[in-house]
Structure 1
Amino acid sequence: MDAKAVNWDDARWLNPPTAAERDGAALVVTPVAGADFWRQTSYGFTRDTGSALLSELPLGAAVEVTFEADFDTLYDQAGVFVRVDERTWVKAGVEVTDGELHVGAVVTHGVSDWSIAPVPEWAGTPITVRVSRAGDALTIRARSADGPWRTIRLAPLSPDAPAAAGPFCCSPEREGMRVRFTRFVVGPADAGLHENP
């Protein structure tokens, strides 16, 4: 499988955003205020209202998304969303919490979990998130600009599950966040867990 750019018009929206506008080859997305993805854990609520632009993610493939935004409000977030159904999904990318930018992932199998690490130095830079599907797992990596890849998470996903993936963004606490997505590519999965793309 060769890496191939996904045409913005060929992917489908899960929960359309407030706005999605072309800026040259980029797509600038304004998410719906108050929308998010989460299931139960600790917070006690379920939200399945965030915006994600999805394309098929078969076994043996990887999706890579690059974006930039002014993340400055609690829970501002963007990255890659992988969805099987409303109870089985993963979101991976960056998010504002405790007053600074963090990189992390939420893995949901019935209920959500959450793992994060602070990356304040990534603020104001283009960020790329890569999710590679091989065997029974998703390997999640991210980087800032042309910096080194950082492995974020290894998450289980049945090889038989029909999955779709692509860019997502949410701003649960405010209106008007804009995320500029500059790249959406699907290509071959990484050769191994410890071999970066």
Structure 2
Amino acid sequence: MIWLNEPQIWSDNLSVIKVHTDAKTDFWRKTRNGAERDNGHFYYRSLPGDEHFLATVNVQGKYNARYDQGGLMLRIDEKNWIKCGVEYVDGKQFASVVVTVNGWSDWSIVSIDSPDVLKLRVKRVKEAVHIEYAEGENGEFKMMRLAYFPVIDEKQSLMVGIMCASPYKDSHGFDVEFEKFNIIQQYESNQY
């Protein structure tokens, strides 16, 4: 795994990835305010661009500033990516998805009960990305979003991994942990 925008403070002991996010970091493109930010933290593996896969992770954070976020990311380049996970808005955790295609981001959130752990499961088959979340260690997965994501040539790389950021102007970063990060390649649609 390698970093895009490596944070100043982080560790990986093969079972838990710990990060303290740098301030004023984010992934966002244009929509609403014209902002283009591509300086969030992304720790990833590269897969063939046309690969079907299942990615999972458990996220636990000490969210304290508006828009503190952590979760999974799929990325072709700065204009085509998906991030999903926890986003902290107005003092509360939300399950969040941002889909960015052709340089434009959209954002959707689902209210959750601020669990200690949010489990994420992302399945990609062809152009479809199926995003699910579960609240708490024993929570059951619920569908959050089915999104279009471009299929690229098998010779190109699709980056898949964990992401986190602290966009808010007054943020000093926060501590977030990622456990049980896993990617199952050649995942087939009849398996879900």
TM tier, shorter chain? Answer: 0.7 to 0.9
Give CA deviations for 1:93-151 in whole Å, capped at 9, x if unaligned. Answer: 110113311112000011100001111x133x121111111021111111122211011
1:83 paired to 2:75:
yes
Residue identity matched to 1:191: S
Q: Which residue of 2 aligns with 1:191?
A: 189
Which of 141, 144, 147 is the matching residue for 1:155?
Answer: 147
Task: Report the alpha carbon displacement of residue 74 of structure 1 after superposing the two structures with TM.
Answer: 0.5
Say whether the 8 Å CA contact 1:132–1:190 is kept in structure 2: no
SS in 1 for 2:189: coil
1:40 paired to 2:30:
yes
Give the distance between the partners of 2:43 and 2:12, measured in 1 at CA: 14
Q: Which residue of 2 aligns with 1:178?
A: 175
After superposition, the CA RMSD in angstroms is: 1.8
* Number of residue pairs matched by the alignment: 182
Give the distance between the partners of 1:176 and 1:105, measured in 2 at CA: 20
**Aligned sequence identity (%):** 32
Q: Evaluate the alpha carbon distance shift between residue 137 and residue 57 of structure 1 in structure 2; reply closer, same or farther with a 3 A threshold.
A: farther
Q: Which residue of 1 aligns with 2:53?
A: 61
Structure 1 unpaired stretches of 5+: 1-10
Give the distance between the partners of 1:152 and 1:46, measured in 2 at CA: 25
Q: Evaluate the alpha carbon distance shift between residue 185 and residue 99 of structure 1 in structure 2; reply closer, same or farther with a 3 A threshold.
A: same
Structure 2 unpaired stretches of 5+: none
Give 1:10-159 correspondences, 5 Å limit: 11-22=1-12, 25-58=15-48, 59-109=51-101, 110-119=103-112, 121-123=113-115, 125-144=116-135, 145-159=137-151
Give the TM-score normalised by structure 2: 0.87
Say whether the 8 Å CA contact 2:59–2:119 is kept in structure 1: yes
Residue identity matched to 1:128: K
Q: Evaluate the alpha carbon distance shift between residue 126 and residue 159 of structure 1 in structure 2; reply closer, same or farther with a 3 A threshold.
A: same
Give the TM-score normalised by structure 1: 0.85
